[in-house]
Amino acid sequence: MKFNLLSKFKNQTVNHAGEIAYTLSPEMELYTAVVTWSLNDSFYEKDETRLTRLRQLIYACKPEFVGKLAVYARTKMHMRSVPLVLVTELAALHSGDSLVARVADGVIGRADEITELLACYEMLNKRTGTKKLNRLSKQLQKGLSTAFNRFDEYQFGKYNRDGAIKLRDALFLVHPKAKDELQQLLFNKIVNGDLQTPYTWETELSALGQFNFDSNEAKVIAFRTKWEELIDSGKLGYMALLRNLRNIQEAGVSYAHFEKVCVRLADANEVTKAKQFPFRYLAAYRELVNPAVTKVPAQSLAKKLTALIHGGNKGYTGELLNALEKAVQASAANIKGFGYETRVLLACDVSGSMQTPVSAKSKVLLYDVGLMLAMLLQSRCKNVEVGMFGDTWKTIAVPRNNILGNVQEFYRREGEVGYSTNGYLVIKDLLQRKVKMDKVFMFTDAQLWNSSSTTGDYIQPLWLRYKAEVLPSAKLYLFDLKGYGQAPLQILRNDVYLIAGWSDKVFEVLAALENGGSALDAIHNIEL
């Protein structure tokens, strides 16, 4: 099936900005809502409204599609919260077979997601007081039981946190059957609270923080030594490494250890295994170039102490930035770019609605995500122009192999075009100049409109004119970064495509489109 033939509803609607837009099929709308999910109020939509819309879409789609989408979001898009929401809602509407059990098992990738799923089930089903988790869905229980059998003591110990629902509670609720005597001993340890404390950077720094040192200098030396030990141990995960670069730098670790950090950061195999969202690298980059970054409590003690006495190894910042750039380039290596003859335009939405965080605890904005995805793609294209739009539209020349630096350059200059959402200007400019672009990519929350009171231009008729007057074979790709549920153009032709999400996996969808596939094909092909 062609992606752009999936929409059944050709009726016109309006978006949140009041501009003309077009509805999507329930499957397409659910897909865009899920892969752009975050549990913080967005610019146009409150949490409760978004959750209500998600539930309505789930009921409008076939249960098997909902299940496959949940597993796709967890295993391919590396999302953690929204797959649990999908499983919980699926358990409420579907029964009679093992679908819910298979999906529940499929979305649990870490031991703590067992308790997270139960907490989600409790919250969304409004189980409070004595009702709590009574009458747990049997199929959900079966799926959780299967998941219990997949983790070892280290994994259970690492995520045995003191939340409202503990691993011990989950064990009693689910009643998993041990596959052998060793696993039964492990389950007994969970019940008795005897799990071995795992060796992790959090537990090691936390334990060190409990010691009484004779002097501040002794504390500094101890924390520097601990960071070096963690680096040597290999127990510092890749994401933890990204989050702690400034702390490692300011702890004053030896240059040999600093080199180990840089080598690991830039290692292509490590990048592939880490499965980080591209914007995680941007966050690490900014943490190094901006000293005023807030630290989590476990990390700030070491930072304050080392800054007091040693001042850290700030002279190594350039090497860290180079390592991060190599890491990002490695993450882009598998993106299918285009040849020298393919003319590509990348347009980034920098409007006010894009200046909202991707989550409640993040400083990364939707705007940053759009820039990162655009610059990743730009690094793989040969014949390419890049620009940004707000009140106006302008192109900016940047080098191809400087992904993070390019994002910062756009970030520095975003005020130059204002903060409206006049995406139509991108196409109008091409039309007026008769510029032939084989592929036009727009990175946006898809809430485009025309802020001018003097012109009735909007993007749909302009695109049709561009196709008729300039280049009939041109294609337009909308990268929807928020999933509000409408598209600014009709997704009904062989020339307009909608792709959603924050992960670099969106480029796999792009490759599928280039090969005649669709965004939804990847979901339908998921095996449960």
The 10 Å Cβ neighbour count of residue 305 is 22
For residue 115, CA distances in Å to 119, 121, 174, 373 come to: 6, 10, 11, 33
pTM of the entire predicted model: 0.82
How far is it, in rounded angstroms, from Cα 376 to Cα 364?
A: 17
> Which domains does the chain show, CATH number per domain?
3-192 (no CATH), 201-234+236-330 (no CATH), 335-524 (3.40.50.410)
Ramachandran angles phi, psi of 488, nearest 5°: -75, -10
Tell me which DSSP letter residue 444 carries: E
Residue 232, helix vs strand vs coil = helix
**Contact at 8 Å (CB) between 20 and 458?**
yes
C-alpha atoms less than 13 angstroms from C-alpha of 364 in its C-beta half-sphere: 23
How far is it, in rounded angstroms, from Cα 237 to Cα 454?
A: 55
pLDDT of residue 464: 92
For residue 14, give every residue at least 6 positions away whose Cβ sits within 8 Å of its Cβ, in sequence order, or none: 20, 21, 486
Question: Which H or E run includes 315?
Answer: none
Q: Name the β-bridge partners of 346.
A: 386, 441
Q: Which of 51, 501, 502, 504 is nearest to 520 (CA)?
A: 501
C-alpha atoms less than 13 angstroms from C-alpha of 53 in its C-beta half-sphere: 19
Amino acid, res. 79: M
List strands edge to edge, sheet with 12-14: 12-14, 20-23, 486-487
3-state secondary structure 156-187: HHHCCCCCCCCHHHHHHHHCCCCCCHHHHHHH
The 10 Å Cβ neighbour count of residue 375 is 28
Question: Which H or E run includes 492?
Answer: none
Residue 131, helix vs strand vs coil = coil
pLDDT of residue 297: 34
For residue 25, give every residue at least 6 positions away whose Cβ sits within 8 Å of its Cβ, in sequence order, or none: 6, 7, 8, 9
Torsion sign over Cα 60, 65, 68, 69: negative
**Contact at 8 Å (CB) between 404 and 281?**
yes
How far is it, in rounded angstroms, from Cα 108 to Cα 15?
A: 35
Per DSSP bridges, beta strands 381-389 and 393-395 are antiparallel
Q: Is the backbone of residue 202 left (phi > 0), alpha (psi -120 to 50) or beta?
A: alpha
**Contact at 8 Å (CB) between 458 and 364?**
no
**pLDDT tens track of the chain, all 528 residues?**
233 333 444 567 776 666 776 778 899 889 988 888 864 545 445 677 878 888 999 999 999 999 999 999 999 888 888 999 999 999 999 998 999 999 999 999 999 999 999 999 988 888 765 456 767 889 999 999 999 999 999 999 998 888 888 999 999 999 999 999 999 999 999 999 999 988 888 888 888 888 888 888 888 899 899 999 999 998 889 999 999 998 898 888 999 999 999 999 999 999 999 888 888 899 899 888 875 433 333 334 334 433 433 445 566 888 999 999 999 999 888 888 788 889 999 999 999 888 888 777 778 888 888 899 999 999 999 999 999 999 999 999 999 889 999 999 998 888 899 999 899 999 999 999 999 999 999 999 888 888 876 777 889 999 999 999 999 999 999 888 887 777 777 776 678 888 888 777 788 888 888 777 777 888 999 998
